Amino acid sequence: MIRLILSAALVLSGTPAMSAPHPQVIAHRGASGERPEHTALAYQLAVEQGADFIEPDLVMTRDGQFVVRHENEIGGTTDVAERPEFADRKTTKTIDGVDTTGWFTEDFTLAELKTLRARERLPLLRPANTAWDGQELILTFDEVVAIAREETARTGRVIGVAPELKHPSYFAGIGLPMEDAFVVALERHGLTEADAPILVQCFEVGPLQRLKARIDAPLLQLMSVSGGPADRPDLTYAAMSTPDGLGAVAAYADAVGVETGMILPRDDMARSRPATSLVADAHAAGLKVVVWTFRAENAFLPLDRRHGDAPADHGDLSGYLQAFYALGVDAVFSDLPGAAVGAR
């Protein structure tokens, strides 16, 4: 079974595994509701607010290094569009069947990406976060692990890392396979064992199945309300979330990471409907249940949790979280980890 409540493998020793609170709070790209996502500022604030994990999304550079960005397209999360020396690298690519125009990490070396500066991805919804635009560098996976270790030592709490492998089939198809490099990175940091303070995520199936044979670290199969894994056109996430589908997932993963609407669906007016049986079904299959993503803005909340009509105004995030906690979920991803900890 996955150990979302981790042993103190990084710095501490002898800490009881069940001493951490439940459910666990995973800072979604850091405290991304209050700082530009995937920055040191966001991760450090998340830990200060009580997060149990920090989450880096991993994409690759031209020279095969892992950097931390929500997508390999970085036009909206860095200042690359304002850099004349990189103007000729703007292009259109098809990523998992979707045509996307912009600048892509795989067209840059790590050294080139390190000249860029991070910026807020959702400035219209989170204008206050733009105050930190231009202050932070793009981080590597190694640097995020280092932040977790530094914060573990500083706080006396074990801070886990929850990396997501983004578009691994796409990267493999352009000659940048992720899995070997990722295993090497985990081995370098001593993060391959079952009690390691890490939770490895992916929306695809094959990478997790292959990782299962190579490492003992906890694995999480991500799912969404619609669609299916990019590497398995024969599968849908809806089929994977049935009792039989969850049983198949349990053969290689320790947890499922499901979108909020898979547990509390919404009707055509965006109002919450009664809960599905997914939590109970997953637990019956031996899987932990992690839910994504809890954000405070009305734009992301069901109609019954909104306050006012403005998309950027904050609604009843605490009440929404508590509804999921009451259903027995094991962990949540939140852009506002302080709110998730407070609701817990």
Q: Which DSSP string corresponds to 84-137? A: GGGGGG-EEEEETTEEEEE-BGGGS-HHHHTTS-B--S-TTT-GGGGGGTTS-P
Per-residue pLDDT, averaged over 240-262, amounts to 98
CA dist 329 → 3, 28, 117, 297 (Å)? 14, 16, 36, 22
- pLDDT per residue over 119-135, tens digit each? 999 999 999 999 999 99
Collapsing DSSP to helix, strand or coil, 204 comes out as coil
pLDDT attached to residue 9? 38
Q: 238, 171, 161, 118: which is closest to 6 by C-alpha? A: 161
pLDDT digits (tens, 9 = 90+) for 102-120: 999 999 999 999 999 999 9
pLDDT at 10: 36
Reported as a pLDDT band with limits 50, 70 and 90, residue 77 is very high
Where along the chain do its domains lie? 17-64+138-343
Asked if the model's pLDDT at residue 15 lies above 80, the reply is no
65 pLDDT above the threshold of 60: yes
Convert the pLDDT of each residue in 226-239 to its tens digit: 999 999 999 999 99
Mean pLDDT within 314-342: 98
More confident residue, 83 or 16: 83
Q: How many CB atoms lie within 10 A of CB 244?
A: 11
Residue 21 pLDDT: 74
**CATH architecture observed for domain 17-64+138-343:** Alpha-Beta Barrel (3.20)
